[in-house]
Amino acid sequence: MKAIVQQRYGSAEELRLIDVDAPVPGEGEVLVRVRAAAVNARDWHVMRGDPYLARVLMPSHFGPRGPRRAVRGSDFAGVVEAVGPGVTRFEPGDEVYGDLREDDGAFAELARVPLGCLERKPAGLTFEQAAAVPLAGTTALVALRDVAGVRPGETVLVNGASGGVGTFAVQLAKAFGAHVTGVCSPRNAGLVMELGADEAIDYTREDFTRAARRYDVILDLVANHTLRDLLRPLTPGGRLVTAGGGTSAGGRPRVFGPMALVIRAQLSARFGDKRVHPMPNVPPSPAALATLRGHLESGGITPVLDRTFPLTRAAEAVRYLEIDHARAKVVITV
């Protein structure tokens, strides 16, 4: 089968489309014929081994000289090709979507998927739309519902509202009954408002951390402010959720990158600051995918696609997300 393979850390030029052996599903696994796979910031972080600190703290993802898994890609949507021993919930022909996360392997014609990483594809969505959901949608859902505990009538600010996670966060916060403010560039303000935000802040003209407005929940997806600045616009009972982020340096990996803010947030929370809620490591979850499917099928949320690329141009797709600051989701068709 064809797959996008990487042997050592580096730029998108390290990604190669080659023939590899087709995977065989084992106990509790499903073989999926991939129809579409989403590109996430995680993919270029792993591709570059960026930041260096991640190579130490996340050995399941990062090896010393290259990623642990040769085939890139975590989010996918496709059709069940075969099932392994012990699998009764799915059968060949079922349309599914999911998130391989540290197992990787979605940028390929076939992917071996553990049962804990997939769910039935939402009805009415294309494979491209469905592939855009798992990692970003789950991150937004857990951040707002489980970590922040957003309640109806609260004010929520999403810093990075036009990105992959941000576009889902804006829609989910509205679905939870919040008043939503999105922070984005001026070219994306229209999109953020269309997704349901009550207002959009142009970060090139206004720094929300220094304005008078206060928020019950701030979801930071960019890591472009200090922890002290992010805490300033919170209400007395407000919650700050830090979920990584950061942008590519476009060259050598950084030592800390966005992990610097994450570490400071973890230390602050550990020493008793109840306003700070670092985003936990969220593994793939069929339950979360089922919840998202409900929102998608009811029309409560809609995936937003920026561009699609064929598998033969996967390196270009990753480069576009990393360097050209794509908005919403970039998807590879297989």
Res 272 pLDDT > 90: no
Of the given ranges (39-53, 136-150, 233-247), which has the lowest mean pLDDT? 39-53
Copy the structure tokens of residue 62. 């990062």
The secondary structure element, H or E, covering residue 19 is strand 16-19
CA distance 13 to 24: 29
- pLDDT tens digit string along 209-222? 999 999 999 999 99
Domain 2-132+303-333 has CATH 3.90.180.10: yes
pLDDT tier, 254 (very low <50, low <70, confident <90, very high otherwise): low
**Start-end of CATH 3.90.180.10 domains in the chain:** 2-132+303-333
Q: What's the pLDDT score for residue 180?
A: 98
pLDDT digits (tens, 9 = 90+) for 10-19: 888 999 999 9
Mean pLDDT computed over every residue of the chain: 90
Q: Tell me, what's the pLDDT at 45?
A: 83
User: For position 63, what pLDDT does the model report?
Assistant: 78
pLDDT on residue 56:
66
pLDDT at 256 over 80: no
Instruction: Assign 255 a pLDDT band (cuts: 50, 70, 90).
Output: very low
Inter-residue contact 129 to 155 (CB < 8 Å): no
Contacts of 135 (CB under 8 A, 6+ apart): 38, 40, 42, 74, 75, 99, 101, 164
What is 258-325 written as a DSSP string?
A: THHHHHHHHHHHHTT-TTEEEPPP----HHHHHHHHHHHHHTS----EEEEEEGGGHHHHHHHHHHS-
Per-position DSSP letters for 143-166, written without gaps between them: IIIIIS---TT-EEEEETTTSHHH
Task: Determine phi and psi for 78, rounding to 5 degrees.
Answer: -175, -155
Which residues touch 259 (CB under 8 Å, ≥6 apart)?
A: 51, 53, 54, 57, 244
Average pLDDT over residues 201-211: 96
Task: Assign 259 a pLDDT band (cuts: 50, 70, 90).
Answer: low
Between CA 301 and CA 290 the distance in angstroms is 13
Cβ-contact 310, 109 below 8 angstroms? no
Of residues 248 and 151, the one with the higher pLDDT is: 151
pLDDT in tens, 174-197: 999 999 999 999 999 999 999 999
pTM above 0.85, yes or no: yes
DSSP conformational letter for 253: P
Residue intervals in the chain for CATH 3.40.50.720: 135-278
158 DSSP β-pair partners: 182, 219
pLDDT band at 103 (very low <50, low <70, confident <90, very high): confident
Q: Which CATH superfamily is domain 135-278 in?
A: NAD(P)-binding Rossmann-like Domain (3.40.50.720)
Q: Strands, DSSP E only, in 92-224? A: 95-99, 110-114, 118-120, 155-159, 179-184, 199-202, 215-220
pLDDT band at residue 173 under the 50/70/90 scheme? very high
